[in-house]
Amino acid sequence: MFNKILVANRGEIAIRVMRACREMDIATVAVHSEADERALFVKYADVAHCIGLPPASQSYLRIDRILDVAEKTGAEAIHPGYGFLSENSEFVRECEKMGIAFIGPSSESMDASGSKIAAKKTMGAAGVPVIPGISGEIEDVESTVDSAQGLGYPVIVKASAGGGGIGMKIARNDDELRSAIHSTQAVAKSTFGDATIFLEKYLLHPRHIEFQILADSYGNTVHLNERECSIQRRHQKLIEESPSPVMTPELREDMGAAALRVAKAIDYRNAGTVEFMYSDGDYYFLEMNTRLQVEHPITEIVTGLDIVKRQIAIAAGDRLDLEQEDVGINGWAIECRINAEDPLNDFAPFPGKIVRYRSPGGPGIRLDSGVHTGYTISPFYDSMISKLISYGENRVEAIEKMRRALYEYIITGVTTNIPFHKAVLRNTHFLDAELSTHFIEDFDILTQVADVVEQDKEKGATFASAIGADDRKVAAISAAVTTYINTPVNR
């Protein structure tokens, strides 16, 4: 086992990895930018080194500086978290050259799944269903338009490299497709340094379902069941739950087997996620995420397995300590991503200083965060504040606990998406599990968010409105919202 691990990330995920290391009696090294000098993850680590200016390109994306710190501190392994360099195969190759273990897949596996075009071809050959589209990259606009007419509109244009929905454009006719091709190429080139794009049939109301997998270096591979990730904005997830409300034992077995075929097709090791789109009873391979996912806590809760510890153990050469039949599902878990962003302004980021912060707790609540009162949400990085997770014996109980936790959460000084989560968790379509990647648009959620914001203002329906008040005022506000919070979920 490793004695020291460098965590090449920041915020809540850096703390999450360091917690696992501390429980395993492994020393940790933090790297940070000047903007994060006083961040919690820096204080949590055993050793911390500044590696550059606030822009990620001058700090968290500097492979040379990160490896220099690893060498100086004697770190035997690097955990990349998610984002930044977590899916950068060049970073993996540089680690391999230096004899530093990368806690993730090999550079070859990462390359095999890094190009969405290549990955689709590989998965199709492995017998995994893929979304219908044009084989290969787009090279000629007019021939692509002709092909799209045969495929049938709407279609979607995507970048082959990168992720997070960046650059994706939907086209419903020839003119929109021509525009989408030029737009996506430009975004792909500027963001990922690779202008390669491709085209797929656009599924109108799909669900986004993904399977967590673990694979060791000895050919042993298991999946840890599924997560439903359909509630998204700009193709980026906001609310996830496990298990999926649409899942049956037969479908889980079929999709799980497909996920394992994906892993074996690229000789995958460590933790990864196979993402599918599900529509009208059929599922299609979307992509392979070769890293830890933001939503991994809900899988940990319902399976009782610590994914980060197993990542570390696999990278250290251990065999998987479980078989597929050992993986069960116990209860239901929901995760809300709490971000500093304004849902009523197209979810625009809202950097700034947190004036007051009080996190929720109690039975069935887990919070992964790296912020505190006085912490500044930087404009240089992702706006995530925390991952709020609820757990119950069933979906109804998990929803009830999440609703309660959302109304306990106090964050002032920055605008957050908490009102969005409140609105969704009370929406009848969500309660009935009528989910798709177009949930926000289909059910006019943002109008409901505006209503929640007004209710919070008018009724003092959050403890945050008591800022600067005495204990009696806080208690009075607490009592005033009890009825609203505890309104039973429709069964």
Q: Are 370 and 41 in contact (CB under 8 A)?
A: yes
Q: Are 124 and 331 in contact (CB under 8 A)?
A: no
Buried b or exposed e, range 87-105, using 16+ CB within 10 angstroms: bbbebbbbbeeeebbbbbb
Which pair of tokens denotes residue 358? 């009080």
CA distance 268 to 284: 20
Q: Are 5 and 78 in contact (CB under 8 A)?
A: yes
Contacts of residue 424, defined as CB under 8 A and 6 or more positions apart, other chains included, come to 231, 239, 430, 439, 445
Cα atoms in the 13 Å half-sphere on the side-chain side of 332: 18
3-state DSSP helix/strand/coil percent for the chain, to nearest 5?
Answer: 40, 25, 35
Q: Which residue(s) pair with 33 in the sheet?
A: 52
CA distance 477 to 464: 10
Q: Are 14 and 30 in contact (CB under 8 A)?
A: yes
Q: Are 352 and 340 in contact (CB under 8 A)?
A: yes
Residue whose structure tokens are 């530093």? 100
Concatenated DSSP letters for 225-288? EEEEEEEEETTEEEEEEES-TT--HHHHHHHHHHHHHHHHHTT--EEEEEEEEEETTEEEEEEE
Compute how many other C-beta atoms are within 10 angstroms of the C-beta atom of residue 254: 12
Catalytic residue among 10, 269, 291, 310: 291
Q: Are 310 and 322 in contact (CB under 8 A)?
A: no
Q: Is 291 a catalytic residue?
A: yes
Strand-pair category, 356-358 with 341-342 = unpaired
Contacts of residue 21, defined as CB under 8 A and 6 or more positions apart, other chains included, come to 5, 7, 27, 28, 312
Cα atoms in the 13 Å half-sphere on the side-chain side of 100: 28
Look at residues 12, 39, 38, 43 and name the one whose alpha carbon lies nearest to residue 28. Answer: 43
Q: How many angstroms separate the Cα of 277 from the Cα of each of 76, 87, 202, 203, 329?
A: 38, 21, 11, 8, 22
Give the residue numbers marked as catalytic: 291
